Structure 1
């Protein structure tokens, strides 16, 4: 056993003890975070505009600070991008995380000297909690890879700009540098398909023990390894036993991953966003992720069914309930205030606060009043693929409002690795499960407003071809699980299996 492995266990125990002490006092810790954020930002332009000096309670804050998305906050962000200090947070940011927005074009999310360590420490601590629970440290002795964006940065008005995953690549702890792959040169390759091949070149003969990234892009990496070697990933990397992921739900990919790997491996789900590191899976026996209550973020929650109301209910962690779909709102030590990142979550536990991501508030289908969300469609398809031999590579759902024949319906575009023997029967099973989860959808089916869902089978590799055609192959990009229009659906149709 290496010195690294020996030292990791007592360190992991210390981190774990502190983590659970905070998690079990989450409301109290959140109040402290709130007070600190208000105090530190009261002399900023935003703080002065919103009377932070006189905010003494959460109710005061709600009265002064409205909910905003990026477009609403953009006038302040543009001042920061222009080089003005003390706008949203004291001083200037260290970085801007550059992301693609659907309504605002390119978004520039500030990362400050206070917020940057929160991103790095959260990722590190998730691994330490895994060590403390499982006592497994062997992965520390092999090679690790996080399939991510380019670490190259561009400077503008004294602030470096890049992708979040590329920015964090500059913060790899020195004791892990020798273990980390790929090389800097390979990580900087912009063409995703060339980058994957270069990553394989560098990793295929290494002792890979930890692999991380967004599931669809790690899946591409695994598929290319199998195609090149003719072996399962678990044979190529016999000591690979830990997969760290985020960005999308792993469950729709789990069957495919286990087939590609050739065995089950432990997995840690993480919830990192450019706006802040929100949660991670703290236990292999818990499906949900622990909300990080002492990570520079004060959280607010709005019931998703009220979100588009004029005066929706807006609460702190102290008042959340189980079984409610919430839009999560962030207030951060990077200067985001009342900020809607667009995600919806549900609490599976309140004390301590464990959550699952249920979808995107703007990614739903309600063309007929059904308001079907991402979690419902993922659960419906997972129920009929896990342990059934059916393997789904990728899928998305859209409404078909004006079919050539019959009633409207939901159209599911699915790329299978292993298809069901009868597509129509498979569609009926998914539809029945969706009806059980969503009473509005059930009523529409029973009331003959909608007919049951239909599946359009996409050719193998079709989703990657679609993503490439729209310039979003690889990186942090992912296909939305569902849409309320036909934009994606109509583009995918050209990749229908013949």
Structure 2
């Protein structure tokens, strides 16, 4: 496709976005009418609507739902009962959630409408950054093996479902810039082989890379750490023009070998020289010098990985482009180059029917439509989609930050069900992330980076206390992470004094909460934690380190990796 044709497609898509965001109420009404007409006679909805597709009856009679409410209906279809138990259109597959945000992995029915929504092109970055049409994207996309359940339908992560669909296979050329990796690398079910090949293909085509991306910031950080371990082998492959024998996936091997090409000792020497430097600060622009930006989800619990990514990228622009879950796609970031703390997502009214439960002082008190949300207010979204979820509580807390035409824009604040508590206080994941973020600045003063962390509330003793597991890493890759006792004790204090007043009161004069503890774990501990959760059914392609650990087995594994323990040694001063 020519550049002129490519540009005309972009202009057309920008016009579509303008139309969508200018006619929110009408589009939302149409979406709900379409869903109710389709699903009113399903077993799930018939109990409330008696076959009617009336919008007001829907709002009056259909209750808010949680996963436990809909799980029995989903399970029946998964076991082979007709799809109209829950959906008016055939269920083509099931999507599996990551299983790390809230505990157990969930399974959701899916039809082609979901994949169509994911296929909706978002060309926002192209309109803000010049020259992208002349380069390629090095994207760390992965698939995991699909399970075939009792009904004979496949079940997999949403990303796997999309990459294995015809929507991805037959994607239009303007939908995305070219990838450095062939599709065979994305479709390889062995994530280690896939990651190695992503990096090798990206390095061989380093002068064409204008964008680096992955679903989550944590995946990008993990990719760089993987490169630290395997760059010598990659250089050997480039120097000899032959791929390592352990890359055994035939399709992957054949396609990557074509990209690798003939022996290239000059490139191998260049990569070796960069990777042999004492510090890997700025390694991304050093290895891929034409990179203009990084694209990855950076909100919520991913925010903890941003400082590490900024270290590796020399603070290249980081774009968090979309808000997507296994239940639905919500919206896109219309201002991709904004500050990270200002990231907001403009909800697209054609994707699902959205309602919002107003959150006031922790209480949920009123349900409003998408067009009726108020600036500055906090809401939990309720989703009614095309495949059987109705007024489904997402457990995400969002803040209205503005409007794009008539479409509201939301900032992700926190998950509703993730919190620490040992007494009467409640510490949200947002509060904990902010507190740890402040403590990171103390840690970095001693040339250490915090690679990952998690927490739990230890109530096994009389004065329960918060426990944080930290995995620090030296900024200089050849150095061992030397632990400075004073620095870690100071970090304990900074975390505590950054928490809310209820915590500080119970921790201070009240004395009901014991001193916060940081337990430093061995390098590689959080990779092992990820592997543990994957064996428990979590998705390797959607994995997010839990902010709060609930699994006793996971805690036992972490305990075996503890190198040192530190406690706050100061009293908290109450405001």
TM tier relative to shorter chain: 0.7 to 0.9
Superposed CA offset, 1:22-73 (max 9, x none): 3355455433332332233223333323216445445x32432222222321
Map of 2:458 onto structure 1: 400
Question: For 1:121-136, what aligned pairs fall within 5 Å after superposition?
Answer: 121=120, 124-125=121-122, 128-132=123-127, 134-136=128-130
Map of 1:366 onto structure 2: 421
Distance 1:398 1:325 in 2: 26
Task: Give 1:468 deviation, angstroms.
Answer: 1.8
Match of 1:439 among 461, 484, 501: 501
Map of 1:339 onto structure 2: 392
Distance 1:112 1:226 in 2: 41
Structure 1, gaps ≥5 residues long: none
Q: 1:244–1:268: 8 Å Cα contact kept in structure 2?
A: yes
Superposed CA offset, 1:355-396 (max 9, x none): 222332221113323221111112222244469656321111
Pair 188,21 (structure 1): closer, same or farther in 2 beyond 3 Å: closer
Distance 1:38 1:459 in 2: 53
* 1:326 alignment partner, SS class: strand
Map of 1:274 onto structure 2: 326
CA-based RMSD of the aligned residues comes to 3.4
Q: 1:244–1:270: 8 Å Cα contact kept in structure 2?
A: no
Q: Is 2:112 aligned against 1:118?
A: no
Question: For 1:186-225, what aligned pairs fall within 5 Å after superposition?
Answer: 186-206=185-205, 207-210=208-211, 211-225=213-227
Bigger Cα Rg: 2
Match of 2:409 among 354, 365, 370: 354
Q: 2:111–2:387: 8 Å Cα contact kept in structure 1?
A: yes
Q: Is 2:160 aligned against 1:166?
A: yes
* 1:149 alignment partner, SS class: coil
Distance 2:308 2:361 in 1: 37
TM-score (norm 2): 0.74
* 1:67 alignment partner, SS class: coil
Task: Give 1:242 deviation, angstroms.
Answer: 2.9
Q: 2:98–2:542: 8 Å Cα contact kept in structure 1?
A: no
Distance 2:177 2:74 in 1: 37
Pair 493,106 (structure 1): closer, same or farther in 2 beyond 3 Å: closer
Aligned length: 483
Match of 1:234 among 280, 285, 291: 285
Q: Is 2:469 aligned against 1:413?
A: yes
Task: Give 1:165 deviation, angstroms.
Answer: 0.7
Superposed CA offset, 1:439-484 (max 9, x none): 3323323432224532222222211122223425832122111247
Task: Give 1:152 deviation, angstroms.
Answer: 5.4
Distance 1:116 1:185 in 2: 20
Task: Give 1:276 deviation, angstroms.
Answer: 0.8
Task: Give 1:92 deviation, angstroms.
Answer: 0.6
Superposed CA offset, 1:476-495 (max 9, x none): 12211124786644432222
* 1:131 alignment partner, SS class: helix
Distance 2:305 2:105 in 1: 29
Task: Give 1:118 deviation, angstroms.
Answer: 0.9
Question: For 1:29-108, what aligned pairs fall within 5 Å after superposition?
Answer: 29-51=27-49, 53-54=51-52, 56-58=54-56, 60-81=57-78, 82=80, 84-99=82-97, 101=99, 107-108=106-107
Pair 302,371 (structure 1): closer, same or farther in 2 beyond 3 Å: farther
Structure 2, gaps ≥5 residues long: 232-271, 276-282, 475-482, 565-575
Pair 101,72 (structure 1): closer, same or farther in 2 beyond 3 Å: farther
Task: Give 1:117 deviation, angstroms.
Answer: 0.8
Q: 1:395–1:481: 8 Å Cα contact kept in structure 2?
A: yes
Pair 354,491 (structure 1): closer, same or farther in 2 beyond 3 Å: farther
Task: Give 1:224 deviation, angstroms.
Answer: 2.2
Q: 1:151–1:162: 8 Å Cα contact kept in structure 2?
A: yes
TM-score (norm 1): 0.84
* 1:369 alignment partner, SS class: coil
Pair 329,256 (structure 1): closer, same or farther in 2 beyond 3 Å: same
Match of 1:320 among 355, 373, 389: 373
Q: 2:301–2:547: 8 Å Cα contact kept in structure 1?
A: no
